[in-house]
Structure 1
Amino acid sequence: MKFTNHLQIPFIIAFIFFGCQENEEIQVKSITIDEVKSHFNSLPQNPKSRATQIGIEWERAAYKLLRQTDEDAILFPVSPKREIYVSGSEDTRRFSVATTSLAFAYKQDGKVMLEHVQMVPTTNSDPFTGIVTVSDWEGEAKHTFYFENGVFQSEGPADENSRLDGLECTKTHYWYCTQKGTEPTAGDPCEYGGYSRTCTYTNDLGIYDNLTTLSPEGEGGGGNTGDTSESLCPSPLDPSVSVPCNENSCPEGYGPDGNRGCEKMSFDLDNDGEDQNPCEVALIIEYPSQAYKIHQNVSKAYAKTIELFGHNSRNDCSDAFRHAYFNMINAIDVGASVAREFGEAHECDSSDELETDMDLHNNDVGINVATFNPGVPEDHLVSHLLEKLYDGELLVISNLDRNNMTTSSSNLISSSTCIE
């Protein structure tokens, strides 16, 4: 998968770290992969050490030449030992550490230096706005760099305790997640791992203007490596290094809004104040893009029902139409199977058997209208749906109370009673 849904992110390694360039002619390396491995294996194995949380993909290394010293550096993709995501705030898109960070090795005074470079977007904008943090493999911060719309703005203090005029601090939130594809047990399947704070100051250094940015399609170096167990794409930090082509991740309950942002999704088709139930949250994880489209269709279903009935109520004719229409357009947009899964998930915590039976029946009517009339304009499908409503093929509930809720004498009845 290419980076079609990623932020355009600056190719910063070449500008920040001594002006690196690809090293294709040096025969004798001033630093070797074996030396870096040996250094990595000697690192302390404590809870704060990155060595206990993040591995290094040694076989996908890329050599660079440090222009200022004419010595070699090596970039490595990283491999978290479980899913780790970062974000600039608790309600913005999450990014996979495997995709948005690299290991960077070089020698200083003959000693191997190994650093971790991590992008942390602070907004959902494109090009990249946020910070790039540099720290050693034991977690000690070395540098922070601030970017706005893909352009370097300033270098900030690495130490969060520093106090400077005009200091702007940003939190990086971490989530440690279960393996992808597993069914979550309850609530958020990711464990919140807390945050670290990094700071920048606003005085412009006057350099790094017009940074090169990685194209949305991931062109220019790196690229998919062919027949591998996982699809690989150019790293957004340096396209000569291949990393997993992970899509950007949103917090649980949020979905990609089509503009590289995250929006909280609501499936509150019955206006009962519950945006998502646990079954719907599980489907959001499994079908993020489809879930966002279904979320968008909620407001569309409300608007169409108001247009035709003048109100959106519950358990009556407007409710019957709203559910049928909603599932009809969902089937058109995401397919009948996914639409039906979301329709059934919406009812999974319902405590009213009559309402559940009514809604599931009307959902199926709408899905079938879409399925058996492919390519038919929507206004014609709406007319067909209304015919079914007035012909009694949908269900409503009788003997409702003043709030249109079921009573002990309520029953499911034919929607033929909707004819005025």
Structure 2
Amino acid sequence: MRGAWASIAVIGVGASALGLARGGAGPTWGHQVDRASTGDAPEFTEIEIRRILQHEWRAIPPDPTNRFADDPRAAHFGQYLFFDTRFSANGQVSCATCHDPAKGFADGLPLGKGLAELTRHSMTLWNVGRNRWFFWDGRIDTLWAQALQPFENAMEMGTNRVRVVRQIASDPVLREAYEALFGSLPGGEAMSQFPPDARPVPDDPDHPHHKAWESMPEENREAVNHAFVNLGKAIAAYERRIVSRNAPFDRFVEGLRTGDAALRQALTPQQQQGLRLFIGQANCRLCHFGPDFTDHEFHNNGVPPLRKGLPQDAGRFDGIGRLRSDPFRAESSYSDDPTGPVAQRAGFLARTPESWGQFRTPTLRNIGQTGPYMHQGQFETLEDVVEFYSTLQGQVRIGHHQETILTALNLSTEEKADLVAFLKSLTGEPLPERLLLRPDDPRWLGD
């Protein structure tokens, strides 16, 4: 930010603003409560209440780029694919490997691990249907295109689109489930012409997969791409059902909105004190706002790399370049709305030096379940995160343009505990058990 709002700190699971430093030039909202003399919940001012209500839960919006986004048949098929390890090179990795329901749809590791260790922390999937950009660097602009990337990443699932489509076509049950949704796959004669393994590898034209891909007739490549995209759209339909709602915070908000005193007791006095810090003195809401507590944008928070040294990950700077070259982006022919507002967003992006080292602001929904935190899992606990932004100890400054100057919040011991208590109040109700496991059958048999 500029001018008076110059002292910004950053929080979250990755790279997003925690708030204005104590003593900064920005305004403070409401009166201060003397914690030494009272354990009561604070009385929120009208301004504070308006700010709190801006975080009120709202439904996940539709995805016009995916006409199957809210089709229950597609979600069922996508759920089956999400948990199926057969599509990985070693038969042991699935989407659920890095997005385990038992671990908050993350994996509990500092760095994700598929076939090999990755370079970034696995992001949670809670409320992922509301995202504008995907991955820490925002290199993808639709959920269905994001779902395709791990298949062909050598460190994740290590397979390729032709092999995946062949696997679907060769399994009678999977083929039936697919064709009931999307229509016919390429027939047996056409499939016999496909190489066993092929995918585009534009950065390595001598790669065997790339040579095999280039040897395929254009109509066969298009047939594979459309089938591959349909699998991504089915997985996305399932992931849109991974929704966190009805947390203690949500019940408290309903109490504020309706005047129901009983619902306002959903947050403890300590959690309410933390909420006041969040929207006021710490100003976490600067980047963590709205129903998912995120601005869905990118920031450089100065957190030191997991394995020390200077930052080497360009983050958003590289992500914008990769998005522009992605053949499955929202404006492509594979999108169901290639000229709509989602498709137009990427055209407004500017790839500037300031974007070097920036990472996406993650949701704070269910944050108590999704540690460790930051884009490399640098902090094991929420207490560690809040402590860092209270002191900025170990902060790394680099020579690239940074959008903010981070200033320590200098929180007291009680304030840090209050803030952590509030963050834990953002954990919603568990999903139905039926959404947490692979279905017995990929075919839709009705509710």
- If the TM-score is normalised by the length of the shorter chain, which range does it land in? under 0.3
Between structures 1 and 2, the one with greater helix share:
2
**Normalising to structure 2: TM-score of the pair?**
0.20
Q: Which has the higher contact order (CA 8 A, sep 6+)?
A: 2
**Normalising to structure 1: TM-score of the pair?**
0.21
